[in-house]
Amino acid sequence: MRELKETAEIKSLTELLKMNLAVPSYQRPYKWTKKNIADLLEDISTAIDQDRDGSGFKYRIGTIILHWNSTSKVYDIVDGQQRIISLLLIRRYLSNSKEASQFIQVNLSNKQTQANLAANYTFIQDWFRLRWGIAGRILQAFSDLLEVVVITVKETPEAFQLFDSQNSRGKELDPHDLLKAYHLREMKGHLFEMQRAVTKWEAIAPSDIKELFGKYLFPIIKWADRDRSIPFTAQEIDTFKGIQDTSEYAYAARARKSMPSFQITEPFIAGDDFFSMVDYYLALLMYLRSCIVEDTTRFSELNAILKNGEWLRSVGFKYAKTLFECALLCYYDRFRNLDEQAVKKLFTWAFMLRVDMENLGFDSVNCYAFGDKSKGAYTNIYPIFSIINHARIHTDISNLTINVIREPDKAKNAKWDELYNQLKKINQV
């Protein structure tokens, strides 16, 4: 057999899976979960819907790197084994045969691989049973619609060098960039709206969008659900994928009627409404900040604290300030008013955390925000975001009893005694 040179080809999934593929021993176990499979199947379904016009549209599922093993006469998978094995599972179900299981030298003794293969195949079966008529279309898509870029190299070092360059080139896409791409795809066929959305999006500083999701919207959703917030990464973007406009779910019909009126903890319609939502909450956050600063009659005492130059250098103070802004945003989002008493209650609740802690980090903010009662160091144990989310009227918040007096009557760290005294003054204690 003649030696293979490095090649790059576009192949359909059917062509790829007919190759004599192998998972080499150096590869990690098969780790994809049911969520990964669900995302893959939904992406394929969306691609099929986009191809209804018969325009020759192709949906590319990434790049695969193979190494031609001249000794064993197989193509070793260097990059892409998780996707390939998952696609094989889908194909095996669709074809109802073992023809797609062409791997050799697969380490099926690994318990994690065994467990994930079994769990994912069961999930695939259940997924198709709930979706009448789509199996044949997806099987056909393997040949007509779905494709990959297949890079084949002949030397192992060359393969790994290519793998490294593919996976380290540039910066990984931020989750908000992935959301942008997802929602633009949901707008296919509405070119004017797509262009308008892109223009508005590009006019916003990426850091502002990243901050909106990572510091405000995502934590608020988690805390309102009495759950611990985690870093907002690509693994969490499902939270903001919204509902497809064509969905027949009852809650989707309710969401359609409410657009473009948004609630952070409520679903929205995917596509154009996502971009409107981002604009809305960026503007709302700016508005609330300006209200606190400019309303010197009602909020002068709050501003005296927020503008203290010495405190602003403290990481813990910044955490408390962001926690207050999150609570204020959540409150205004629900009630659309700035009741003086309610704002001061939320402010006191947030900054008492700073007073309560010797050192304040995000772990403490997390516990405090969703009302973790296992932590006894806090003067107030309230799941504020859950309370706001379930409150019927705004006075449910303004009438909350927020404890201010500590025992002993001083800040945990003497550095924050002045802050403690000002909080007592705000609450007329």
Question: At residue 231, does pLDDT exceed 70?
Answer: yes
Pairing of strands 74-79, 59-69: antiparallel
* CA angle at 19 for the pair 17 and 23, rounded to the nearest 5°: 80
Question: At residue 114, does pLDDT exceed 50?
Answer: yes
pLDDT at 169: 45
Average pLDDT value for residue range 13-36: 84
């916003």: which residue's tokens? 204
- One-letter amino acid of 217: L
How many Cβ atoms sit within 10 Å of the Cβ of residue 358? 11
d(CA 216, CA 49): 34
- One-letter amino acid of 402: I
pLDDT at 235: 83
Res. 56 pLDDT band, cuts 50 70 90? low
Average pLDDT, the chain: 86
How many Cβ atoms sit within 10 Å of the Cβ of residue 20? 13
Res. 206 pLDDT band, cuts 50 70 90? confident
Average pLDDT value for residue range 346-372: 93
151-194 pLDDT, tens per residue? 888 765 555 555 545 544 444 567 888 888 788 878 876 778 88
pLDDT at 47: 81
Structure tokens at 164: 């490294």
Pairing of strands 146-153, 74-79: unpaired
d(CA 317, CA 413): 13
pLDDT at 156: 58
- The DSSP 8-state label assigned to residue 147 in this structure reads E
Determine contact, residues 410/385, Cβ cutoff 8 Å.
no
The pTM assigned to this predicted structure is 0.67
């009741």: which residue's tokens? 339
């192992």: which residue's tokens? 156
Distances (CA, A) of 25 to 28, 78, 104, 105, 365: 8, 11, 11, 8, 44
pLDDT at 168: 44
d(CA 135, CA 95): 10
pLDDT at 102: 46
- Report the percent of the chain where pLDDT is more than 70: 88
pLDDT at 100: 42
pLDDT at 415: 93
Question: At residue 323, does pLDDT exceed 80?
Answer: yes
381-385: long-range pairs with CB below 8 Å, 24+: 382/349, 383/223, 383/226, 384/223, 384/327, 384/330, 384/346, 384/349, 385/220, 385/223, 385/224, 385/326, 385/327, 385/330
Burial class (CB within 10 angstroms; exposed 0-12, middle 13-18, buried 19+) of 185 = middle
Domain ranges of the chain: 7-168, 175-277, 295-426
pLDDT at 65: 84
pLDDT at 242: 94
The string of DSSP codes covering 25-57 is: TTSPP----HHHHHHHHHHHHHHHHHGGG-S--
pLDDT at 270: 93
pLDDT at 105: 43
pLDDT at 101: 45
Res. 276 pLDDT band, cuts 50 70 90? very high
The more confidently predicted of residues 187 and 33 is: 33
pLDDT at 180: 86
Res. 263 pLDDT band, cuts 50 70 90? very high
279-296 pLDDT, tens per residue? 999 999 999 999 999 998
pLDDT at 214: 95
